[in-house]
Amino acid sequence: MKQLEKNRTMELDTFQKIAEHEQVMFCNDPKTGLQAIIAIHDTTLGPALGGTRMYPYATVDDALEDVLRLSAGMTSKCAAADVDFGGGKAVIIGDPKKDKSPAMFRAFGQFVDSLNGRFYTGTDMGTTMDDFVHALKETNFVNGVPEAFGGSGDSSVPTAQGVIYGLEATNQYLYGNDSLAEKTYAVQGLGKVGFKVSEHLLKSGANLYVTDINTASIEAINEKAKEMGSIVNVVDSEDIYNVDADVFVPCAMGGVINDQTISQLKVKAVVGSANNQLQADSHAQDLLDRGILFAPDYIVNAGGLIQVADELYGPNHERVLLKTKAIYDSLLEIYEQANLDCVTTVEAANQKCQKRLTEEQNRNNFFVRTRRPKWNIKE
Ligand code: NAD
């Protein structure tokens, strides 16, 4: 009976979340085995944009819950990154290691196309650029494809640059000087983003603690440091939280700021690319109580999103980096507003996004935003 009651509550929660969405579409194609859900949360700022995740969800309810949560998050991300897109997301139910086929992604492309430009998508966990090359045969509403197919390529470059701007803004706020030099950073994860960030920090004359569970990445950063006549301090993955550093830079996975890790942190700030760093919303307040400045992850890691959104104007790396630079001012504004209002930086960031959405709702009329996306209007 208890379980039944719990399920009922979950269903009501999900129902409430659906009601907060503009559109939710279930896609079934028995011939290819495609079972997908596309969720469009909010198109106030423009067509919905969000990656397509492929995961072996245990139930359709689990898939639905995930897509609704992720698409709502994209509305805030797009508002924060100042791109002309709204929030959306898609999930494909299946094991990416064995259930994928080119035909499945062509079928998915047809469903995306049927939305006639209300939803743009690309890769996420479990899907690759190659999958979307197949989808591209059926729809133009795809981004993040390889450069050879008209895309803008590796998004970790602007993401890493965004983290660097975030670190500079943090130093500016804390020390009145945005130089990265002579400070100590603890970088967790030396993957596509973390490695580039570490390399930039080394070049800037910073001191580094690093960790990764992949020994090849450790070897690569040691090699890079040697080339530069510098050194990095490598620590075990569980020791990265309590090193004597100024800034913790999480670039591996989510949930790393939690009840176990917060009490270990000696840093003055947390600034990194990992998505959903706080295990629970309340951890933002816990960090504030301990005097640790938190850079909301969706502000800092927006470089990749900026690149994907910018692709529709034609790939241009210079323009993307220029737009990514806005992360510096945006983060500084959030820090200052949070301080003025005595709220967490997460609350200040959310308020900033909500303000942009409200301003656009008041400015736009329905016809313009749904029928004629900006880039189709001939000036
Ligand atoms: P990646 O998979 O290339 O790198 C992640 C690295 O973290 C890997 O080297 C992995 O070995 C390491 N790692 C995993 N678990 C670890 C642990 N317990 N301790 C230490 N290291 C560990 O991913 P990425 O593209 O560099 O992205 C890093 C983070 O930033 C992810 O959370 C991702 O969602 C987020 N992000 C990335 C982008 C992008 O453009 N790539 C954009 C926005 C957000």
Percent of the chain with pLDDT over 70: 93
Ligand 1 and 275: CB distance under 6 A = yes
For 320-329, write each residue's pLDDT tens digit. Answer: 999 999 999 9
pLDDT at 374: 45
Residues 6+ apart with CB under 8 A from 228: 202, 203
pLDDT at 332 exceeding the cut of 60: yes
From 6-15, 25-34, 217-226, the region with the lowest mean pLDDT:
6-15
pLDDT at 8 exceeding the cut of 90: no
pLDDT at 309: 93
Residues 6+ apart with CB under 8 A from 114: none
Q: What is the DSSP letter of 34?
A: E
Q: How confident is the model at residue 89 (pLDDT cuts 50, 70, 90)?
A: very high
pLDDT at 86 exceeding the cut of 50: yes
Residues 6+ apart with CB under 8 A from 295: 166, 169, 170, 269, 270, 271, 272, 331, 345
Q: Which of 156, 215, 219 to mutate to test the pocket of ligand 1 (most atoms within 8 A of CB)?
A: 156
Buried b (16+ CB within 10 A) or exposed e, 325-346: ebbbebbbebbebbeeeebbbb
Question: Which residue has a Cα nearest atom 12 of ligand 1?
Answer: 189
pLDDT at 214 exceeding the cut of 50: yes
- How far apart, in whole angstroms, are the C-alpha atoms of residue 79 and residue 90? 19
Given a contact cutoff of 8 angstroms between Cβ atoms, the answer to whether 357 and 42 are in contact is yes
- How far apart, in whole angstroms, are the C-alpha atoms of residue 127 and residue 93? 12
Ligand 1 and 188: CB distance under 6 A = yes
43 CA to centre of ligand 1 in angstroms:
29
Judged by DSSP in three states, 353 sits in helix
Question: Which residue has a Cα nearest atom 31 of ligand 1?
Answer: 274
The pair of structure tokens assigned to 326 is: 């806005």
Ligand 1 and 252: CB distance under 6 A = yes
Q: How confident is the model at residue 367 (pLDDT cuts 50, 70, 90)?
A: very low
Q: How confident is the model at residue 150 (pLDDT cuts 50, 70, 90)?
A: confident
Percent of the chain with pLDDT over 90: 81
Q: Which of ligand 1's atoms lies nearest the C-alpha of 190?
A: 9
For 178-193, write each residue's pLDDT tens digit. Answer: 999 999 999 999 999 9
374 CA to centre of ligand 1 in angstroms:
33
Ligand 1 and 198: CB distance under 6 A = no
The pair of structure tokens assigned to 211 is: 């960790």
Catalytic residue, from 2, 17, 31, 89: name it: 89
Ligand 1 and 276: CB distance under 6 A = no
Q: Which residue has the higher pLDDT, 7 or 118?
A: 118
Q: Quick one: which of 325, 312, 260, 247 has its CA closest to 286?
A: 260
pLDDT at 364: 58
| Catalytic status, residue 89 | yes
For 268-286, write each residue's pLDDT tens digit. Answer: 999 999 998 999 999 999 9
194 CA to centre of ligand 1 in angstroms:
7
Across the chain, mean pLDDT equals: 91
Q: Which of ligand 1's atoms lies nearest the C-alpha of 297?
A: 44
- How far apart, in whole angstroms, are the C-alpha atoms of residue 68 and residue 56? 17
- How far apart, in whole angstroms, are the C-alpha atoms of residue 293 and residue 170? 8
The pair of structure tokens assigned to 10 is: 């979950």
pLDDT at 365: 55
Q: What does the pLDDT average to over 228-233?
A: 94
34 CA to centre of ligand 1 in angstroms:
28
pLDDT at 7 exceeding the cut of 80: no
- Angle at which helix 303-310 crosses helix 156-175, to 10 degrees, equals 130
Beta bridge partners of 28: 35
The pair of structure tokens assigned to 121 is: 């998508």
Q: What angle do CA 348, 353, 354 make, to 5 degrees?
A: 95
pLDDT at 215: 96
Q: Which of 209, 251, 270, 307 to mutate to test the pocket of ligand 1 (most atoms within 8 A of CB)?
A: 251
Ligand 1 and 361: CB distance under 6 A = no
Ligand 1 and 251: CB distance under 6 A = yes
Tally Cβ neighbours within 10 Å of residue 377: 8
217 CA to centre of ligand 1 in angstroms:
12
Q: Which residue has the higher pLDDT, 83 or 360?
A: 83
Ligand 1 and 211: CB distance under 6 A = yes
Q: Which of ligand 1's atoms lies nearest the C-alpha of 250?
A: 29
pLDDT at 9 exceeding the cut of 70: no
187 CA to centre of ligand 1 in angstroms:
11
272 CA to centre of ligand 1 in angstroms:
10
- How far apart, in whole angstroms, are the C-alpha atoms of residue 230 and residue 66? 43
pLDDT at 313: 84
